[in-house]
Structure 1
Amino acid sequence: MITGDQQVIAKEVARRLGMQRTILDASLLINPLESEETITERCIAADGFAHVIPEHKFRVVELLQNKGILVAMTGDGVNDAPALKKANVGIAVHGCTDAARAAADIVFVCVCSPLEYSLLPETYMVFQHTTIWSQYQEHWITECNQ
């Protein structure tokens, strides 16, 4: 979880969602005295960050991807657009700005139930397989026509 909210609010939201409450302050994401590896490991170990700004969101996505981790990002505002675009899967939620909608891979056009959210990993896997199959088929057809 990455939020601009205060740390105490983020911890309460995490508690209500059944997450652990290792929510760190965003200042720990940018420390010139620490290596990128140390900061990356902190991102992996944490359950979230509070007090973030748009640059922090993008940085967390980038650090996790550099470790080979697939990252999904949800957002609704202009400030979320860079991280939505950078993520492996950007998800703009209902009521989002045009910038978030343009940056996202998936746009929710209505408020989703927890069940619908739980289906996202399977939905994305189907999307990936369909995309890979389409690319394979396109390549195969091109090769056969030459």
Structure 2
Amino acid sequence: MQKIQDSYWFYLGLSFVAHSILLLSLFLTFDRDNSDTNLVQTMSGFSISSEESTGNTSENLSEENAGPGSKESDGSHNAEALFSQSIGNLKQSIPYPALAVSQEIQGTVIAFVRLEKGRLTELRIDQSSGFAVLDDQVKSSIRQWQWPEISASRRFSVRFRL
């Protein structure tokens, strides 16, 4: 009975030392600069790449006639900023389809949206990912999104990466 207890404490101590060395090596090799972006991309299932505005906001017409410091000019910039923020939030909320994860499907979907006073009037996939499951997830998320009360259009991409 004494031999079993002695070997138990020996192996427990050995396990503690081995785990401590492992944790220390992980801590020393941890890259703080890249950890946040990798974590976000891994958790969300995609990364934000590019957006392209068509410049078609309802305020653009009045902005051409407005002076540089006028309130109308600021309205257009606010609408663009609000639209960009809304698209950024949308892209971060799009879930990675479970089927695509299980089959290790990856791809990039390029979508185009047009809003008229906050109502989605046009949605199209300009470039398919090559997988209907990814394209359909993007379309579904765009249709369900609560858009701001603006009129604008934008082309943007959503990358699905595991």
Q: Structure 2-normalised TM-score?
A: 0.20
Which of the pair is proportionally richer in strand?
2
Larger RCO, structures 1/2 (Cα 8 Å, 6+ apart): 2
Normalised TM-score (structure 1): 0.22
